[in-house]
Chain A
Amino acid sequence: MVATRKPATGRPVNGKHNYKVIGTRPIRHDGLDKVTGRAIYGADIKLPGLAHGAVLRSPHAHAIIKKVDTSRAEKLAGVYAVITGADMPKADNREVDLGEGAANLKWASNNVMADDKVNYRGQPVAAVAAVDQNTALQALGLIKVDYEVLPAVRDVREAMAKGAPVILSGLVGDDLGKKVKNTNMARHFRHEFGNLDEGFKKSKLVVEHEYELATVHQGYIEPHNATAQWTADNRVTVWTSTQGAFAARRQIAGILRLDDSRVKVIPLEIGGGFGGKIPVYGEPVAAVLSRKCARPVKLLMDRKAVFESTGPTPGGTVKVKIGVDAKGKMLAADADIRFESGGYPGSPVGAGAMCVFAAYNIPNTRIDGYDIVTNKPKSAAYRAPGSTHVAFATEGVVDEIAEKLGMDKIDFRMMNSAKEGTRRADGPIFPKIGHEECLAAAKNSPHWKSKLVKNGPNGKKRGRGIASGYWFNIGLKSVVTISVNTDGTAALVEGSTDIGGSRASIAMQAAEVLGIPAEDVRPVVVDTESIGYTDVTGGSRTCYATGYAAYNAAQSVVSILKERAAKLWDIKSNDVDFKDGVFFNKSDAELKLTFKQLAKKLDETGGPVSATGSVDLSAAGGGYGIHIADVEVDPETGKTDVLRYTAIQDVGRAIHPSYVEGQIQGGAVQGIGWALNEEYFMDQQGRMSNSSFLDYRMPTTLDLPMIETIVLEVPNPIHPFGVRGVGETPIAPPVATIANALYDAVGVRFRQAPMKPGRVMEALAGKK
């Protein structure tokens, strides 16, 4: 562990800290239920009188819906209700803040149930509730939809081409502040600082390339699900797997035109999300079906629909141009980033633009970002949204410049590294960040120092690559309530759905404050009526912000308990101190009580003790990761194997190191899949040809080595334990890392992802 930085709260915070709970590896509280099959996920819920739903989806990528005839489906025995776009409440054409990105409600409504037009294949056009799944599916077959099929717009280049079909006729694009009609370009924005022309003129070496990335999916193993009950008092209860019960509530209420408080969302266990389970899909549809048939309705999405109508992260292009002086100092950088948003506006191009040069200190910069509507599913967040795309481009160019200058890859990055006080290319100044520390650790890592034998068996070629990545780590709102049990344990109530061990990391922060073991804090995730507003489990915010709320709640519990101890000892509460789980009288060392002993005396000193912590935090400060990969390319087949992989990341403070490592390993592997295999393969008509896990090729056990992690702790000064976000940063560097390793192996710079065998073969053939 590195790190000897300024203490966060006046106490020494460094690798050799004095924490009792933080930094240990207890068994997660929800673990037992999850290894025994007892945990209840969204699809597992059963209710009395439950009807089973199914959704009819558009077979066309782009079409006008002329007529939907549901009469035959309605007559089928066992069918309770059939709905179409006409049954959806007319949502306002306005943006709402979902606490984690804004959404236009009309478009959000059309996205879950089309009205007069479909903008992507898989978009819902009708839905059925029936006595069982089989009947519901049969009924779908009886619904007749007349479409007028339109030409499909498949990517950003087609969408921006002259004469391209306009997908959203009502869209008014924003071109650098100018309003534009009849366009697929929802937004074009720019960040510009310094004098770009001057910077490039002074540069000794300028490298510029365009990179292209295919659309990819988050690939969570659990498909979306939603069960809803609309009761006669106009209240809606929804059981679902979501990254944010409150964000889901606001979207559902907005689409259904109800006040937020009329919708109760009960979050069940969630089988992965990675950003893709922030939007709602079946939830409002199930609710409208339920209103029509007066029963609870359950909708389960199948895998094909998950690929065709949820998720993806955008495909697009990123052009990067960087100029350096003779010594290698970066003088100017220019970026042009074009992301497809799918059928409705709202890609993560804004975030991509803020990440593209975030690792470096460059005086003259310009960044153009474009949000472009295409006939693909509406894009959703995916782990550090936008950052992987831009790192692919920037880190490719950086690698090439270092090579042309004959400089060491790490030294060149270090020389230009962003640090505390550097002005980001989009304006703001960086607080304390850890990019330099990560670079130093990379240089010092066993992996980087090891020798790579460039020739593998059977003519295979090996190479090593390195790349940086950045993500913001957001803050936002969280509420936690802690109640003390008289047996000396504590119950912790939170609103952050637990997608990867966050119950444990949040309970541990409370346990640290209370001076009791992690096991003695029992965390529970509750519904939207049982805890205060809590933002999504996403943006790498949960351990940071909900952990902070738990810290505050635990501190309040401690102050109340000090009063209780004072009462027992008949002294002022100021005279009671609390350390290492023991309350003691400052002026009489004999008088002391452990947390457990004092908890037994609650009834005689004033009754139950509970306290709430509520926070609304700024960003956690950026997180950096550096990845190193060794690859082996088979020139006979073009297949690339990853032989060794190391991920280095500044996490601020690792609360539960195993889950920190797990986040880093998981993000790295998603990035490896993105680099080598994963893509939406679209045919001429804009239909996805590989909408199954067989053909959408995610990494398996056999594709990977162990993923080595080097966890740095540069404590975040604005968190009581120094926590930064962890989860998203690790997906930023891998695509660039693999591309740089491939170059080292075969001498070809790949600028299109995925770098699949066919593409590698073509490149090798072209080289000859």
Chain B
Amino acid sequence: MVEKVHVRTTLNGEPTEFLVYPYQSLLETLREVIGLTGTKEGCNDGNCGACTVQVDDRIVDSCLVLGVEVEGKKVTTVEGLATPAGLHPLQQAFLEEASLQCGICTPGFLVASKALLDREPKADEHRIRHWLAGNLCRCTGYDKIIRAVQKVGATSKPARATAAQATAKRRPAGARK
């Protein structure tokens, strides 16, 4: 009988512990073990990007990562994008630009887009299209998604983060072992 493994991680800025079978994917861990169902399953084989989350500095398809692999790491899901102060600018832009129809791919697009703009706030249309090519959307034809990401990039300040955001960014980093 396979035994569950005790895993310590930082999930959306909060220290988090859970027990998980070694064969369970991070996607299954998030959805079934921890109960965060914002991360979606579209294919379970790394081809649609609906389950995109950020692990440390990388965005990954959480269906291709095991739950035990996030031991000691920092995980960000769609549930971690908004702060008590409000929505992330990308979330707001997706709403204003009507970038979602059914919404199932939206969490993955948001997490992936945030990772891009964190690195390259001024990414142009081609760069955005290149970066997001691993996320499938079947409803929108991508037009309004690209526009939302461009809009947030265009309005981002060169120094980027506000004080509140900077604090939010530092806190989980400090929690990392």
Contact = CB atoms under 8 A, between A and B. Distances in A.
Question: Does A touch B (CB under 8 Å) in the complex?
Answer: yes
Interface of A: 25, 27-28, 30-32, 34-41, 43-44, 46, 134, 218-223, 269-274, 300, 302-303, 499-501, 656, 658-659, 661-663, 665-670, 692-694, 698-702, 704, 706-707
B16 interface: no
A46 B34 CA distance: 13
Interface in B123-147: 125, 128-130, 132-147
Nearest to B87: A35
A499 B140 CA distance: 12
Interface in B45-68: 45, 47-48, 50
A608 to B, nearest CB: 32
Given A35-B91, A665-B144, A693 B48 contact: yes
15 contacts: A28-B95, A35-B91, A36-B78, A36-B79, A36-B87, A41-B104, A44-B37, A220-B104, A220-B138, A221-B138, A269-B103, A662-B101, A666-B138, A666-B140, A701-B128
A175 B95 CA distance: 52
Given A36-B91, A698-B138, 7 more contacts: A221-B102, A500-B101, A501-B98, A693-B43, A700-B134, A701-B145, A704-B143
Contacts of B77: 37
B43 A692 contact: yes
Given A223-B41, A303-B45, A698-B136, A28 B142 contact: no
B143 A707 contact: yes
A530 to B, nearest CB: 22
Nearest to A217: B138
A297 to B, nearest CB: 16
Nearest to A221: B42
B98 A37 contact: no
Contact of A272 (B41, B91, B95, B104): B104
A499 B139 CA distance: 9
A570 B80 CA distance: 56
B72 interface: no
A222 B101 contact: no
B82 interface: yes
B105 interface: yes
A500 B140 CA distance: 9
B141 A704 contact: yes
B101 A41 contact: no
Nearest to B98: A658
B129 A36 contact: no
Contacts of A269: 102-103
A747 to B, nearest CB: 29
B42 to A, nearest CB: 4
A25 B96 CA distance: 8
A706 B102 CA distance: 20
A406 to B, nearest CB: 35
User: Interface centre among B37, B43, B95, B103, by most A CB within 10 Å?
Assistant: B103
Report, nearest first, the 5 A-B pairs whose CB atoms are least far apart.
A37-B38, A271-B104, A669-B141, A658-B98, A500-B101
A218 B138 CA distance: 9
Contacts of A46: 35
B51 to A, nearest CB: 11
B81 A36 contact: yes
Contacts of B36: 37
A698 B103 CA distance: 18
B102 A37 contact: no
- Determine which residue in B41, B102, B132 has the highest number of CB atoms from chain A within 10 A of its CB, and name it: B102
A665 B107 contact: no
Contacts of A663: 101
A26 B38 CA distance: 24
Interface residues of B, number: 58
Q: Which of B35, B98, B128, B133 has the most CB of A within 10 A?
A: B98
For the residues of B in contact with A, the DSSP-based class is loop
Contacts of A36: 38, 78-79, 81-82, 87, 91
Given A665-B143, A666-B138, A707-B141, A31 B100 contact: yes
B115 to A, nearest CB: 15
B9 interface: no
A704 B144 CA distance: 12
Given A40-B37, A702-B129, A223 B42 contact: yes
Nearest to A660: B98
Contacts of A662: 98, 101, 139-141, 143-144
Chain A interface secondary structure, helix, strand, loop or mixed? loop
Contacts of B133: 700-702
Nearest to B111: A37
A677 to B, nearest CB: 13
Contact of A658 (B39, B48, B102, B144): B144
A701 B146 contact: yes
Given A34-B103, A658-B97, A702-B129, A221 B141 contact: no
Given A36-B91, A37-B107, A221-B42, A701 B142 contact: yes
A32 B147 CA distance: 19
B139 A25 contact: no
Contacts of A500: 101-102, 139
Given A665-B143, A701-B129, A499 B101 contact: yes
Nearest to A647: B141
B11 interface: no
B93 to A, nearest CB: 9
Contact of A665 (B47, B78, B141): B141
Contacts of A27: 95-96
Nearest to B90: A35
Contacts of A302: 44
Contact of B142 (A32, A219, A704): A704
A26 to B, nearest CB: 10
A37 B78 contact: yes
Nearest to B50: A221
A273 B139 CA distance: 9
Nearest to A302: B44
Residue of A39, A221, A699 ringed by the most chain B CB atoms within 10 A: A221
Given A36-B78, A36-B82, A702-B133, A499 B138 contact: no
A662 B101 CA distance: 8
Contact of A706 (B42, B95, B146): B146
B106 interface: yes
A707 B102 CA distance: 19
B102 A272 contact: yes
Nearest to B104: A271
B168 to A, nearest CB: 16
Nearest to A269: B103
B122 interface: no
B135 A701 contact: yes
A702 B137 CA distance: 12
Nearest to B94: A35
Contacts of A223: 41-42
Nearest to A696: B47
A693 B136 contact: yes
A694 to B, nearest CB: 5
Contacts of A271: 40, 42, 102-105
A32 B95 contact: yes
B152 interface: no
Contact of A221 (B21, B48, B146): B48
A694 B23 CA distance: 23
A303 B78 contact: no
A692 B128 CA distance: 24
